[in-house]
Homo-oligomer: A and B are copies of this chain.
Amino acid sequence: MSRLAPLSGFPEWTPSERLVEAHVIDRLREVFELHGFAQIETRAVEPLERLGGEAEASKEVYVLTRRGGETAEFGLHFDLTVPFARYVEERQGHLTFPFRRYQIQKVWRGERPQEGRFREFYQADIDVVARETLPAHVEAEVAVVMARALQSLDLPPVRMRMNDRRLVEGFYRGVGIADVAGALRSVDKLGKIGHDGVARELAAQGVPETAAEAILHLARIRSSDSSFHEAVLDLWETTPTHADGEPQKLMAEGIAALGALVEAVNAAVPGTAEADLSIARGLDYYTGAVYETTLEGHEDLGSICSGGRYDSLVAGGGFPGVGMSIGVSRLVSRLVSRRMLVATRGVPSAVLVAVMDEETRAASQSIADRLRARGIACEVSPSAAKFGKQIQYADRRGIPFVWFPGADPTGEVSDGEVKDIRSGEQVAADADAWNPPAEDLKPRVVRG
């Protein structure tokens, strides 16, 4: 067999690292459920015509063919929004709206492998979707749930930066930009190609220089409350080409909504939210709030949680909603590689029950079962080697306790003693009553 080298872009963890990933996923589940989000899972595949929307994403789709077959049957989903939209469309008659769902699954993108880009990764999405109209307060609610979910992981502070598409679109149109989506896609690259790079792209799109300067200026405005509106209005007034009327009205709506959003999120999760008018998000379908989230000190990771408000989840229209998505694998990869979170041990067992000889293995198993009946994970030594060897076996696996059955005077096997192999302390113990210290009961995931 060849190709034993790991495949670039397909991360796989050691058992200890998997504990970190499972911990992150379990915590997210917990917070999502506390806020009333129900879990769904969708199949990994979608019909190819459903995976063709965005030209750029489309190239990244993995197409599936049955071996020896000719016809491509499906593609693997590249996000959780496409399958969620299809799920809602299929089952709309059986769901209760607003529908609050979360979904934590792997997605696949056929990207050229490169540093930090995965081709298979976990995403964790929440969405609230209405049938007809979705109240504005959901834009704050979804951001608050995600901020709390991330905070529950005991990481450095998260910073959630927000903008509003109406503000941006009103302003862009007001200063004379016809192709708002095109300009937005360029501004979205600000972090990558910088001010001059974006300016060049805008010029290439035929955006007049004053308009380009105005929207680049707009992208520098930020505040952690609603005070950004003064800077926006100042800029608007001083941009020579600005046009009042419909665009201005749209912009004013966006300003009011964004101010309320930032203040509501900061009221619930202080110090988290910031209005940042550079936030663009590449995707066309957002129509209100848009979000990006960075981890303090790890801004190079890019956004670990993004999303926005959309008018129509499905192609035919209808089902307005707000959704955000955490890039779980990207986050876990950083947590693991920098040892920001680590598991206290790599195996679930708190206790290794030693075996005196093969004839008394059943007695050792019975001690193990009595411990398990009280929720204490354990395993029985695979061999009846010398006790020193059995201790070594536990030590190599990070199992903190070794239980030594004893032989009582009648020849029966007694419960015997349990040893903390870290301290060497050994005490007589009853398998129906002994407990490890709470912090040793299960592997825990703690700051590294």
Contact = CB atoms under 8 A, between A and B. Distances in A.
Contacts of A37: 348
Nearest to A15: B38
Interface in A101-132: 101, 106, 108, 110, 120, 130
Contacts of A182: none
Oligomeric state, in copies: 2
A180 to B, nearest CB: 25
A4 interface: yes
A344 interface: no
A50 B361 CA distance: 39
B49 A3 contact: yes
A36 B120 contact: no
Contact of A110 (B40, B67, B268, B383): B67
B377 A33 contact: yes
Interface stretch (A55-63, A171-179, A275-283, A413-421): A55-63
Nearest to A52: B67
B58 A62 contact: no
B62 A64 contact: yes
Contacts of A376: 34
Nearest to A35: B379
A361 to B, nearest CB: 6
Contact of A12 (B42, B68, B76): B42
B361 A34 contact: no
A13 to B, nearest CB: 7
B349 A36 contact: yes
A63 B64 contact: yes
Nearest to A382: B98
Contacts of A87: 12
A368 to B, nearest CB: 8
Contacts of A60: 66-67
Interface in A356-405: 358, 361-362, 365, 369, 372, 375-380, 382-383, 393, 396-397
Given A7-B43, A64-B64, A96-B397, A101 B15 contact: yes
A285 interface: no
Contacts of A86: 1, 4
Contact-residue bracket for chain A: 35 or more
A267 interface: yes
A10 interface: yes
A43 B10 contact: yes
Contacts of A284: none
A41 interface: yes
A319 B57 CA distance: 42
B315 A1 contact: yes
A243 interface: no
Contact of A382 (B10, B18, B138): B138
Residue of A43, A61, A264, A267 with highest tally of chain B CB at under 10 A: A43
Contacts of A75: 67
A270 interface: no
A267 B348 contact: no
A346 interface: yes
Nearest to A1: B315
B35 A91 contact: no
A44 interface: yes
14 contacts: A2-B47, A3-B50, A4-B90, A6-B90, A7-B74, A15-B38, A18-B40, A37-B348, A48-B67, A59-B68, A62-B64, A63-B67, A135-B382, A135-B383
